[in-house]
Amino acid sequence: MATTNDLKNGTVLRIDGQLWTVVEFQHVKPGKGGAFVRTKLKNVLSGKVVDKTFNAGIKVETANVDKREMQYLYKDGDDFVFMDTDTYDQITVPAATVGDAANFMLESQNALVATNDGAPLYIELPPSVVLEVTYTEPGLQGDRSSAGTKPATLETGYEIQVPLFLEANTKVKVDTRDGSYLGRVND
């Protein structure tokens, strides 16, 4: 337990059985009336953002969220198996928890896995990853303009838009937040 005076960005609160991360907070002391804390909270599981106001000094329940660097081992049915790189303990994470991160994960790749009381909450990937294009239509000779794009399938099976001049077996840098093409990577 903590009070609203102890809130910081990144603190995880348990409100009505759900976990919320403090994105922003502001202590407000009006001329008359009691002080209060205005917060912007993000639901850890759904990503929904809400504004909530607390009276200053009231008790709020904090939740312990443990973020660990883990290595993605393999897919087991709909679940993903990760291994703690320090203890070699394995954890199974449901596909719903992994979400869009599955589009950018290769076996043996590291990711941050956030857990609360041993239950996986979400997966955090680096802002960008390097993946190989396994299939795309061949580019036309002399088509070097940056005006057009074409679909390309990555080694994870995810499809992104790439410039017309890119060919299959090219390594590209991809933004893990929105799946956009960031550039070609030379070996």
Q: What is the 3-state secondary structure (H, E, C) of 174-187?
A: EECCCCCEEEEECC
Q: Do domains 2-60 and 66-124 have the same CATH topology?
A: no
Backbone angles phi, psi at 93, to 5 degrees: -115, 125
* pLDDT-based confidence at residue 174 (cuts at 50, 70, 90): very high
Whole-model pTM: value is 0.70
The pLDDT, as a whole number, for residue 53 is 92
Q: Which two tokens stand for residue 175?
A: 């933004």
Which pLDDT tens digit goes with each residue over 43-93? 887 778 999 999 988 899 988 888 889 999 999 988 999 999 889 999 999
* 3 state SS of 97: helix
Tell the CATH topology of 2-60: SH3 type barrels. (2.30.30)
Contacts of 61 (CB under 8 A, 6+ apart): 1, 13, 14, 15
CATH of the domain spanning 128-185: 2.40.50.140
The pLDDT, as a whole number, for residue 10 is 79
Is the pLDDT assigned to residue 138 strictly greater than 60? yes
The pLDDT, as a whole number, for residue 140 is 63
Amino acid at 60: V
Task: Report how far Cα 95 is from the mean position of its chain's Cα atoms.
Answer: 14
Do residues 106 and 131 lie in contact, with contact meaning Cβ atoms separated by under 8 Å?
Answer: yes
Distance CA 159, CA 108 (A): 21
Q: 1.10.300.10, 2.60.40.1120, 2.40.50.140, 1.10.10.60: which CATH number matches 66-124? A: 2.40.50.140
Q: Domain residue spans in the chain?
A: 2-60, 66-124, 128-185
Q: Which two tokens stand for residue 5?
A: 């005076």
Which pLDDT tens digit goes with each residue over 6-48? 888 878 898 988 888 888 999 888 888 888 999 999 888 777 8
Q: Which of 74, 92, 174 is nearest to 125 (CA)?
A: 174
The pLDDT, as a whole number, for residue 73 is 94
- The mean predicted confidence, pLDDT, of the chain is 87
Which pLDDT tens digit goes with each residue over 100-126? 888 999 889 999 898 888 888 888 888
The pLDDT, as a whole number, for residue 142 is 58
Residue 144 Cα distances to 134, 136, 163, 183, angstroms: 20, 16, 8, 14
Contacts of 102 (CB under 8 A, 6+ apart): 80, 95, 156
Residues of 10-28 as b/e, b for ≥16 C-beta within 10 angstroms? ebbbeeeeebbbbeebeee
* 3 state SS of 54: strand
